[in-house]
Amino acid sequence: MPFLQKLTLIGNKIATWNPSTFKNMTNLRNLHLDGNLIHIVNKTSFPTVLLNKLKKIGISSNPFWCTCDQRRFLDILRSTNITKKMPNWPKYYSCAYPDNLRNYMLSRYRPTDAECEIVYFTSIIIIAVCSVLIFVFFLALILYRCHINLKNLLYFARVHHRIKKGYLKLTSCDDFDFGAFVEYCDSDRQWIHGDLIKRLEDKGLKICIHHRDFEVGESIINNIEKFMKKSWKIIVIMSNDFAKNEWCQWEVNLALERRRHQGVNSLVLIMYRQTDSKHMTSGLRKLLNTTPYLIFTEDLGERMFGMLSLTVLISL
């Protein structure tokens, strides 16, 4: 609006405006912004060229803040003749904030360098402290959301350390018919068959499970013992139902015996559902206390991490 000469916006609840608002108003001569909600007039509020060309400027009856942020505007008023262009100056220019300066004449407000420096450094300290607190909050939130992954990562580190130090016997998967034998409770079958085994077999791992691979006509006990011996690793899927099932606890005892002969690396434990202590048998408690385990969660990212973790552990 380069040809606009007079602009009246009295009582429109204006508090701030874009710094470029008055940039192209080169012919503006009368500007009235009285009775709005203007708190601070800073260096971007009015271009210097505009202030010099204006014949009248009215910003009276606004709730001005008497703080160091107002200092530049006051310096301009005191160093130029702009106040002669302000019809209601200084009567209707008063402080609304802070409370101890309420109704104090804006023309009499003269903040010192020392006061403004204290405010400046105090603001920096507050911003720095708030930034640290926000960082700590989000770090704690991330750690809380990802603590399962961190536990699983520690599991990896411990296994890697044991292998590096020669504590674990490294056998080859080629010596066995199956990559892993899965111990689980039938009540957890939907997730195990529909998700876990499918994902592992998609990665080329040959998995042995009861309902598919056991020999017909052979007793369950003989099948379990036989196919455990044919499997490189034993994956134990733990849950409350698993802990309460007698067959599962018998399989736990076999897993403990397997670990005693072939080392902790022969087992991969997954806590599928948190197990109540009241359902813990001595064998399961011993297994958990002496063998690191992965923890399954419903979170998508942690599920993906857990599945990758399991695949890597089986391949060790």
Residue 85: which CATH number?
A: 3.80.10.10
Looking at 93, 111, 129, the residue that finishes a domain is: 111
Could you tell me if residue 39 is inside a domain? yes
176 and 289 housed in the same domain: yes
Looking at 91, 111, 131, the residue that finishes a domain is: 111
pTM: 0.48
Model confidence over 150-168: pLDDT tens digits? 665 665 566 556 555 554 4
102 and 202 housed in the same domain: no
Could you tell me if residue 227 is inside a domain? yes
Could you tell me if residue 67 is inside a domain? yes
Write out the chain in H/E/C secondary structure: CCCCCEEECCCCCCCCCCCCCCCCCCCCCEEECCCCCCCCCCCCCCCHHHHHHCCEEECCCCCEECCHHHHHHHHHHHHCCHHHHCCCCCCCCEEEECHHHCCCEHHHCCCCHHHHHHHHHHHHHHHHHHHHHHHHHHHHHHHHHCHHHHHHHHHHHHHHHHHHCCCCCCCCHHHCCEEEEEECCHHHHHHHHHHHHHHHHHCCCCEECHHHHCCCCCCHHHHHHHHHHCEEEEEEEECHHHHHCHHHHHHHHHHHHHHHHHCHHHEEEEECCCCCHHHCCHHHHHHHHHCCEEECCCCHHHHHHHHHHHHHHHHC
Looking at 78, 111, 144, the residue that finishes a domain is: 111
> What is residue 157's predicted lDDT score, i.e. its pLDDT?
64
> What is residue 36's predicted lDDT score, i.e. its pLDDT?
95
Could you tell me if residue 33 is inside a domain? yes
Domain housing 54: 6-111
Query: Which regions of the chain are under pLDDT 70?
Result: 1, 119-120, 143-174, 297-316
Could you tell me if residue 149 is inside a domain? no
> What is residue 191's predicted lDDT score, i.e. its pLDDT?
86
Q: Domain total for the chain?
A: 2
Could you tell me if residue 243 is inside a domain? yes
289 and 201 housed in the same domain: yes
Could you tell me if residue 43 is inside a domain? yes
Could you tell me if residue 106 is inside a domain? yes
CATH number for 220: 3.40.50.10140
> What is residue 6's predicted lDDT score, i.e. its pLDDT?
93
